[in-house]
C-alpha cells in the first residue's frame, strides 16, 4: 500500500547494492543485564523484519517495544520502516501512523577491495597505558535456521585500571555470517558492564 503523502527529500541512505541474493528474515534481539546486587533486568525483545529482492532493493521493518514500566495498556509498539532502492537511487522512511513517506537519496558504495577485510593491529606507544588484549578465533561453519553460516569469536580483555576497574574486564562477541546472503544471521555479546545480548 502506498503512503498517502510524500515528504520532501531528506538526508541520504548510504550502502552497497547486493544483487542476485534475495531473502526475507526476522531478526530478534534479546538483552539481559545483571546488576551488582544480582538483580536481572530483561529488556523486551526487539523485532526487525528484513527483505531483499534480486536487484538489491531492501525493506526493513523495526518494531520497538516499550519497556514494561513505560508501556500503557493498549499502546502499540513503535514501527519504523525503511526502504532502500539502489536501482532508482532513492530510499524512503515510512511512518505507518501518519501514512507519510520521507524520500532520501540512496548513495551506492563501491565494493571494498580484498584488503579491506584485514584487521589493523593496534600499535603500542611507549609510555601509554596498557592496551586491551584482543584475540579472534574461527568457529567454523554451522547451520542456523536452515542457513549455512561461518562463525568468529572476538575476545577483548581490558586490563585492570583501564576504566578505573579493579580487575580485568572480558568482553566476548560471537558473530555468524552467511556467505550466501552476505549478512549476519546471529550475533551474541557478553559484557559484564552491559549484560548479555543476542
Strands 100-108 and 13-15: parallel
Dihedral angle, C-alpha 49, 55, 56, 58, nearest 10 ° = -30
pLDDT at 174 over 90: yes
Query: For position 113, what pLDDT does the model report?
Result: 63
d(CA 106, CA 90): 5
Do the Cβ atoms of 81 and 97 come closer than 8 Å? no
Residue 167 burial (CB count, 10 A) = 10
CB atoms within 10 A of CB 125: 7
**How far apart are the C-alpha atoms of 125 and 142, rounded to whole Å?**
40
Q: What residue segments make up the domains of the chain, in order of their start?
A: 1-111, 129-198
Rounded Cα–Cα distance for residues 31 and 191 (Å): 11
Q: Among 32-36, 153-157, 171-175, which is the least confidently predicted range?
A: 32-36
DSSP character string of 142-185: EEETTEEEEEEEEEEEEPTTSSS-SS-EEEEEEEEEETTTTEEE
Strand partners, 34: 40
The pTM assigned to this predicted structure is 0.61
Report the residue count for the chain: 198
Highest mean pLDDT among 13-22, 24-33, 166-175: 166-175
40 membership: H or E segment, kind and range: strand 40-52
Query: Looking at the predicted structure, is the pLDDT value of residue 1 above 50?
Result: no
**Chain Cα centroid distance, residue 70:** 24
In this structure, of 34-48, 148-162, 165-179, the range with the lowest mean pLDDT score is 34-48
Dist. CA 150–CA 141, nearest whole Å: 4
Amino acid at each position: 500500500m502506498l503512503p498517502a503523502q510524500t515528504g520532501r527529500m531528506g538526508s541520504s541512505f548510504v550502502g552497497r547494492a547486493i544483487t542476485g541474493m534475495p531473502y526475507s528474515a526476522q531478526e530478534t534481539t534479546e538483552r539481559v543485564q545483571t546488576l551488582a546486587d544480582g538483580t536481572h533486568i530483561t529488556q523486551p525483545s526487539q523485532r526487525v523484519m528484513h527483505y531483499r529482492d534480486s536487484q538489491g532493493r531492501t525493506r526493513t521493518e523495526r518494531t520497538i517495544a516499550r519497556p514494561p514500566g513505560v508501556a500503557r495498556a493498549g499502546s502499540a509498539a513503535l514501527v519504523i520502516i525503511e526502504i532502500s532502492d539502489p536501482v532508482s537511487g532513492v530510499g524512503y522512511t515510512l511512518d505507518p501512523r501518519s501514512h507519510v513517506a520521507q524520500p532520501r537519496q540512496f548513495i551506492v558504495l563501491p565494493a571494498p577491495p580484498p584488503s579491506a577485510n584485514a584487521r589493523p593491529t593496534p600499535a603500542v606507544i611507549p609510555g601509554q597505558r596498557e592496551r586491551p588484549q584482543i584475540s579472534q578465533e574461527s568457529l567454523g561453519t554451522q547451520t542456523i535456521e536452515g542457513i549455512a553460516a561461518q562463525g568468529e569469536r572476538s575476545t577483548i580483555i581490558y586490563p585492570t585500571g583501564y576504566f578505573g576497574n579493579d580487575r580485568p574486564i572480558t568482553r566476548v562477541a560471537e558473530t555468524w555470517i552467511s556467505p550466501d546472503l552476505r549478512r549476519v544471521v546471529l550475533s551474541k555479546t557478553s559484557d559484564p558492564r552491559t549484560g548479555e545480548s543476542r
